[in-house]
Structure formats: structure tokens, C-alpha cells
Chains A and B, each alone.
Chain A
Amino acid sequence: MSEPGAAIRLEGVSKAFGTFRVLDDVTLRIPRGRATVVLGRSGTGKSVMLRHIVGLLQPDAGRVFVGEDEITALPPAGLAAVRQRIGFLFQNAALFDSITVAENVAFPLRRHTTLSDAEIRTRARDKLAAVGLARAAESMPASLSGGMRKRAGLARAMALDPAILLVDEPSAGLDPVTSGEIDDLLASTRQERGTTLIVVTHNIPSARRLADAMLFLHEGRVLARGSAADLEQSEHALVRRFMRSEAGG
């Protein structure tokens, strides 16, 4: 069974699309209550890995655990229960574009809580305010900029105050100030609630600020793992070079 403290475990997970192997026998542990930053070049399977954790993708081989639950073997009802404990910010935000930004954030609350309509509205506003979007609450998603959508997506991901927050490239397309604010929000969330964070990012300064631990994915495998210092001294030139870059790409 899982060691104490592991929020998420992947055991020998492999995934291929057609003949293209995206994940190749990946095994890893994400510690509970910590922030884990996943690094890697574009197209190495970082997003695919996150999707496996919420069961949006099924591995060809291997198992995925969230806490005690084996995601890969759960019936639909059990899977839904696990998913309620996880917040997921999609790389492209994936806002529901037929409803307002506020309703996007309220959506998980309406589905999974018994709160009154007023309470839900208040909560949704608070979450939007936390990402600096209070003024865009009644806008339709289509009218937002990429960065605003990202933040709205983050507000939705955090709506249910999940124990686990998966964040796919939160600062891509954001100005440095907003990007810093998002990092602060994520850091404070982890600190105040003990949220387990997995953050995929190309923004090394941001990664340094957030990370308790780092994973470096390359060609479907975990190439390096450890603290920022560990990765800076990695035996792989690619990892060292990645760590020296200043801005995301």
C-alpha cells in the first residue's frame, strides 16, 4: 500500500497515442501537502500525466493512486468522489463558454454542495477576487483575454477548496506582476490549507518560488527529481540548461 504522506502515486504508468509513446513506465510519488513542480520541454507528456491523475486518460499499463484510491480501477461513482477532491486548471483554462465567468466558478459548487444560491454567489465572487477577476465576474468567457481565462480557470479549480490542486502552466501568457500574484495565491493556499500542489510550468523563477520538490520529464520518463538545487546539479545537461533559463517558453 502507499507510504504515509503520498498524496499521489504513479506506478509504472505507460501511455501511447498510436505508436507514439508519451509516458514510458513512469513511477513517482507526490508528497501530501507539498508543492511539486513538473518541468520539461513542450510535448513531453506533462499534461498527459496530469490527465491520468484525474482519470481523464487511462494508462496502457501501470496504476495511478490518489490517496488510498486506485484511480485506474475505480467505478464511475468512486471516480467522481475522488475528482471532487481534486482541482484541475487546464492548460487552456477550458472555461464553459455558454455561462458567465462567475457561473463557471459557481458550477462545481452548484453541483457538489448544498449551499444556497446566495452563498454560492458570494463564494464564487471571493474566488474570483482572489485571482483579481472580481470585475469580470459577469463577463462571458469568450470576451476574456488568455491570461484572464487562465485566472478564471484557476478560480474554478479552487472553488471546492480541493485537497489536491493540479495546475497546468498557470503563468503562461500572464504579465510578470499577475504571474507573481498567482504564485503567491498558490503558495498561500498550500500553506493555509495544506493543499497538495502539482504545478506544470516553464517559468523557472516561479518554479523556484513555489517548489518543495521538482520533477523533470523528458521523452516519457522522469529524467531528474529533487530540490531546485538538485536539478541545477543534474548529471543531464538539458536539465541544467533548463534551470538556468529565466523565463518560461
Chain B
Amino acid sequence: MRGFVRTVIVPWLAQGGRVVVFAGRALREMFRPPFEVRETARQVYEVGWRSLPLIAAAGYAVGIVMSMHTRASLERFGAEALIPAALALALVRETGPLVVGLLVSGRVGAGIGAELGAMKVTEQIDALEAVAVDSFKFLVVTRVAACMLAMPILTVVMNFTGIVGGWTAESAVSGMGFESYFRAAFSLVQFTDYLPGTLKTMVFGFIIAVTASYLGVHASGGTQGVGQAATRSVVTASVLMIATNVVLVRLIFFVFPETAE
């Protein structure tokens, strides 16, 4: 038992502690000059712009599927009129943020884990340090900031393409017009759904980037270590994100009690 504690629990806790310290450092360094603006922009391009096709396509598909499901359940109550609003509410509050979070942790988390892992094992990170560049600021903070900036934007894109998808499905059934669908969709959404739902994805972005960066920067063992960093990034980031979401949802209910219906 003591052996188990010493060989499993303690290292595990120590690892957790190191991640927390790493995350804290990322948060602190983000607001401390000098700012790596160009590199952050490059990361926004990688994380945000290049995720757009994936997010838009996924959002569109999710919108169609959700619309069909919503129709199936609301039809029973004769509440078809609520389909756009129910879809939008679900998207804005939870589905949009979570789907974007999972997609980004898959695409971007793996990317960051692999890229930083490769840089680590080929000594590029040391090379950065050797040319007097703060590798943490240059590599980690830029990615964390880019993810935190890109996530809410991607979420908004997902929500809108989701609603467009919902409209596609709806107009196929009822021939509803786009503008009236859009207005109906937003008829029940409140600021207290929209703002926390969208902005909480900044937290998701933070978690994804910090986790993947940590695992990448601490990769070891050559090519295999790089692959490991990539897969672990996706898994760990997704799980952490979903767990954090539970806490965030409670927190949002606490701060905006009227959203807890």
C-alpha cells in the first residue's frame, strides 16, 4: 500500500501539480510584455482559420441532425413552432461549445502536442532558448492565447452554421423562410445563454492549449514520444474539458440563476 502510494499516487499528484504550475505560468505570462504578436497571429491562423472548414461543416451537419431530432420530439406535443428556438438554445448553450471543444482538441490539440513534441525531441526548443528567445512565451503562451481567441469565434461560427443546417432541414419539411427561421431561432435565446455559452469556450481553449503544450514540451523518447504527446493531448484535453464544463455549467447557473431552467 505504501509502495503504491509512493510509486503511483505521489508521482501522479506531482504531475498534476506540474500541470497546474504550467497553466498558471501560461496565464501569467500572457499578460506580461513583451508580447509575441506575430507568432500569436500565426497560431490564430493555424488554430482558427484553418479549423473553419471543419467547424463549419460539422456545425452544418450537427444542425441538420439536431433539427431532425428536435422535430421528432416536439412534434408529439404539437410544438413544431419551437423547433428553431429549441435548436438554437441547445446549440448556443451546450452543443456548440462542446462540439467545437472536442473538434478543436482533436485537430489543434493533437497538432500542438505533436509539433511541440517534435520541437522538443529535435532540440528546436533548446535552439530557441539558445538564440535568446523565451521558448515558453514564444511557443506556449502564443498557442494558449490563440486558442482562447479562436475558440469563441469558432463557436459562434458553429452556432450559426448549425442554425443554417437546422433551417435546411426545416425548410425541407415545412418550407420555412430563412429570415423567419433565424428570428424564431433567437426568440428564446437570452444574453445569459449566449454570452456564458460562447465565452466559456475560452476556458476550453485554455485547457486544450495548456494540456497539449505541456505534453508536447515534456515529450521525450524520439518519434514515439512525439506520437504519444499527440494522442495524450487529445485524450487528456477532451476529458479535462468535459469535466471542467460540468463545473462551468454549475458556475454559470450560480452566477445567472435564470439560465437554470
Contact = CB atoms under 8 A, between A and B. Distances in A.
A–B: direct contact at CB < 8 Å: yes
Interface of A: 51, 54-56, 76, 79-81, 83-84, 86, 88, 90, 92, 94-98, 107-108, 111-112, 156, 160
A96 B132 contact: no
Interface string B80-91: 000000000000
Interface string B101-135: 00000000000000100110011101111111110
A56 B135 CA distance: 12
A56 B134 CA distance: 12
A108 B131 contact: yes
Nearest to B138: A111
Given A76-B134, A86-B130, A88-B131, 15 more contacts: A56-B129, A79-B132, A80-B132, A83-B131, A84-B131, A88-B127, A90-B126, A94-B123, A96-B119, A96-B124, A97-B124, A108-B132, A111-B132, A112-B131, A112-B132
Contact of A90 (B123, B132, B133): B123
Contact of A80 (B118, B126, B134): B134
Contact of B123 (A54, A55, A92, A156): A92
13 contacts: A51-B126, A54-B130, A56-B130, A79-B132, A80-B132, A83-B129, A90-B130, A94-B123, A94-B127, A95-B124, A96-B128, A111-B132, A112-B132
Chain B contact residues: helix, strand, loop or mixed: helix
A107 B131 CA distance: 9
Interface in B159-186: none
A96 to B, nearest CB: 6
Contacts of B133: 111
Contact of B122 (A83, A94, A156): A94
A129 B59 CA distance: 51
Residue among A81, A90, A160 with the highest chain B CB neighbour number at 10 A: A90
Contacts of B126: 51, 56, 90, 94
Contacts of B124: 94-97
Interface in B229-257: none
Of all A-B residue pairs in the complex, the 10 with the closest CB atoms, nearest first, are: A94-B127, A83-B132, A94-B123, A88-B130, A80-B132, A108-B131, A84-B132, A56-B126, A54-B130, A90-B123
A79 B130 CA distance: 10
Interface residues of B, number: 15
B234 to A, nearest CB: 21
A107 to B, nearest CB: 7
B108 to A, nearest CB: 15
Interface string B126-156: 1111111110000000000000000000000
Contacts of A56: 126, 129-130
A51 B123 CA distance: 11
Nearest to A91: B123
Nearest to B127: A94
A54 B119 CA distance: 19
A200 to B, nearest CB: 15
Contacts of A86: 130
Contacts of A90: 123, 126-127, 130
A96 B118 CA distance: 10
B37 to A, nearest CB: 13
